[in-house]
Structure 1
Amino acid sequence: MIPKGLSLKKSKNGYYFIIIAAALSALIHVISKPMLENSTHSVEINPIVMAFLIYFICGIFFTPLAKKTHSISKFGKKDWMFMGIIGITEVAALITYFYGLSTSTAVNASIFSNSEIIFALVIAMLVFKEKLRIKECIPFSMIIIGMMVIPIGNDLIHNNFTLGNMVIGDLLIIFSGFLYAVDITLCKYVGDRFDVKRVTQIVSFVCAAAAISVIVLFQIPMDIDIAQLPGILVMSILGTGMSTLFFLVGLKLIGAVRTVLLYSTTSVFGVLFSGIILSEAITALDVISLVLVLAGIFLLRNRLAEGEHDSGTEEEIIVTTARKSSSIKRGKYVPKTSIPKKIEEKIVFHGWIGAG
């Protein structure tokens, strides 16, 4: 048995790790936004070029971490085929996100980062032919209203109900969430068989290869200002790599339900950073949207707490949860579970909007 004092200390540290992971992940919305816009002070980076750089750097970051895991020689033709499809889907999702962010706001992007929850749920219902329970409809509706109806409706009103650049940007970001949800479904095959760090490394390089192929094919200029490199490194290493590592450490210490709930604050950090760093306006409607989304997520998480503990020793539970949830975090593990569990897994995954 773990001493009570030591257990409390571990739990406290777990909270810190998850909060830091959420904050680091939120940096991606804020740091990438200025690089994607026309500015007299810096070069506008093409979204495809930025996606290539993030995936390539992330692949390098995970290479030493994956060194002692499954050897590449153990991957069969079907495994490589799936990872190729996954890579194309992921890079398409990130590029779509960046194109949307270039005309939308970082505040909206932070709120829309939860859109994957909805699409993952819809896909799960279609694939597994399951339906929402009555108790799930209320929090599900809260998430939809807060995440889509209010932000898009507000932008439509400001654009006289026309599809202006901002509205199109909003729709592109939401569509990127759909692509990430599709990616989760595809990732099940390799995620059940191989270590998540190895899969992350390979998929990151596949994404980078797909992006550079598009760059070469369409002769897209690799225009990058040297002053922008630190920001790209921060997104790649801190916003993706370190965020994932802190997430997994915290997950092992405090369990899945509390981890999922805390990590959902990524959207809150994104909105705060957008106001502080980018000086974007944070309106009352933005706050209402966040409250609705987080309240809906909390209600779903609260309901999941009943089934969090499985049979087995404490050590077995920790190891099993860490292994499965680490795969979920990177979108590589999607077991056939109930609809609420799928929502939990998707919320864990949605914070990872960077590479891999």
Structure 2
Amino acid sequence: MGMSVLDIVRKSHYGYYFIIIAAALAALVHVLSKPMLGIGTSQVEINPIVMAFLVYFICGIFFTPLVKKSPKISKVSRRDITFMLLIGITEGAGLITYFYGISTSTAVNASIFSNSEIIFALVIAMLVFKERLHIKECIPFSMIIIGMMIIPIGNDLYQNDFSFSLVTGDLLIIFSGLLYAIDITLCKYLSERFDVKKTVQMVSFTCAAITISIIALFQIPMDIELAQVPNILIMSIAGTGMSTLFFLMGLKLIGAVRTILLYSTTSVFGIIFSGLILAEVVTYTDIISVVLVLSGIFLLRNRLAETESIGPKHKTSTHANHVSFTKKRKTSSVSKWIHNKVAEKVSQVFPNSGIG
């Protein structure tokens, strides 16, 4: 007797494949966006705001057929609209900042920084709920900070005679991670109110409306070569839309902890693609940075999973355009209030760049 598609999807071990595919697709954003945004390339340089509009608009179109089966929204309140605008502003600013950063940085560095919003989300959650890292958690947290920020930026400063102007791109990409972390917190409300696919569609079109308004206001030319269109489509549909779908499918099957660990390999795929596709030099320093980050995430995996339950991860970028998703799980131990009052919800969205 044959096995149906539904039976195949229900097999939990397929969740691992889905997350790995999602991580690999998301890594394409770092690599494909760099030549179109980088200065001094043979292609026409696309303005980062124009690129952000294209990504959001195409992603919104991609999800439109998927929301037809979603539950209908009975009423959209003023609060929903307010949150939508705040998310659109934060999300758009994060992706635009990322694109400006990668235009002067490298795809390798962007890949290393691709997990920065996870750490910023953890910090924000600890500030909001007044939680502290346990002593045993300080070491892996420090490993992530050293590998993701101190080593790459320090190496760039050393290679460029400590000229801070040449690490501006790195700092912008890291700052975009902070904006995404804020976005994660804001998306908690919408992801609880609406179906995830509908949420992604609404946020995408809201961000597209905001970015096209900026383009019209400042009369930014939409200079795009025909040869760049395929890469834009791949980056938007595969690197964003399909990556999000595979991510959500995997999350349903294997849970938050395994999802966080596997999806963090986006940085590994990003570095590999940067070397193979863009011929960027991958140094031992880059490898050490990635090993420290992944090791720190592995050791800090339980705390990160609890953070994801507090604020759904919504990432719509290059780093990749990423999505919010909620799922009931066991009660969280992050705070006594959450332990007593609510059922934990886990969510992970898809993503920068790292625009990880």
Task: Give the C-alpha shift of residue 188 in structure 1.
Answer: 1.5
Kindly state the Cα deviation for residue 302 of structure 1 after the two structures are TM-superposed. 6.0
Residue 194 of structure 2 is aligned to residue 177 of structure 1: no
- Quickly say closer, same or farther: Cα 1:88–1:124, change in 2 above 3 A: same
* Partner Cα separation in structure 1 for residue 36 and residue 9 of structure 2: 42
How far residue 326 of structure 1 moved from its aligned partner, in angstroms, is 8.5
**Alignment-derived partner of residue 112 in structure 1:** 113
CA, structure 1 residues 202+7, in 2 after alignment: closer, same or farther (shift >3 Å)? closer
Hey, what's the Cα distance between the residues in 1 that align with 2:313 and 2:174? 24
**Counterpart in the other structure of 1:188:** 188
Is 1:24 aligned to residue 25 of structure 2? Answer: yes
2:64 aligned partner = 63
The aligned residue for residue 143 of structure 2 is 142
Contact 2:63 2:197 in 1 (8 A): yes
CA 1:92–1:350 in structure 2 vs 1: closer, same or farther (change >3 Å)?
same
Shift of 1:332: 5.8
Q: Identify the residue that residue 311 of structure 1 maps to in structure 2.
A: none
Number of equivalences: 330
- After superposition, the Cα gap between the structure-2 partners of 1:278 and 1:262, relative to the gap in structure 1 and judged at 3 Å, is same
Does the 8 Å CA contact 1:22/1:269 hold for their aligned counterparts?
A: yes
The yes-or-no answer on 1:330 pairing with 2:316 is no
Distance 1:102 1:17 in 2: 30
Structure 2 vs 1, CA of residues 113 and 339 (structure 1 numbering), >3 Å: closer, same or farther?
Answer: farther
Flag the 1:354–1:221 CA change in 2: closer, same or farther, 3 A: farther
AA in 2 matched with 1:75: V
Q: Going by fraction, where is helix more abundant, 1 or 2? A: 1
C-alpha RMSD of matched pairs (Å): 2.9
Structure 1 Cα separation of the partners of residues 193 and 234 of structure 2: 31
Partners of 2:352 and 2:97 lie apart in 1 by 15
**TM-score, with structure 2 as normaliser:** 0.85
Cα distance in 1 for residues equivalent to 2:39 and 2:163: 23
Q: Could you tell me whether the CA contact under 8 Å between 2:22 and 2:263 is conserved in 1?
A: yes
Q: Which runs of 5+ in 2 are unaligned?
A: 1-6, 316-321, 339-344
Quick check: 147-156 or 9-18, which moved more?
9-18
Contact map agreement 1:93 1:180 (CA 8 A) in 2: yes
Going from structure 1 to structure 2, the CA distance change for 1:65 and 1:196 (only over 3 Å counts) comes to same
Checking the alignment, whether the CA contact within 8 Å between 2:244 and 2:349 is kept in structure 1 is no
| Corresponding residue of 1:205 | 205
Query: How many percent of aligned residue pairs carry the same amino acid?
Result: 69
Single out whichever of 86-95 and 244-253 deviates more from structure 2.
Answer: 244-253
In 2 relative to 1, CA 338–97 (structure 1 residues): closer, same or farther, beyond 3 Å? farther
Find the aligned partners of 2:127 and 2:162 in 1 and give their Cα distance.
32
Gaps of 5+ in 1: 1-5, 308-320
Question: Deviation of residue 227 (structure 1)?
Answer: 0.7
Output one character per residue of 1:290-339: Cα deviation in whole Å (capped at 9) or x when no partner. Answer: 0000000111226789x9xxxxxxxxxxxxx9xx9797962465999555
What TM-score, normalized to structure 1? Answer: 0.85
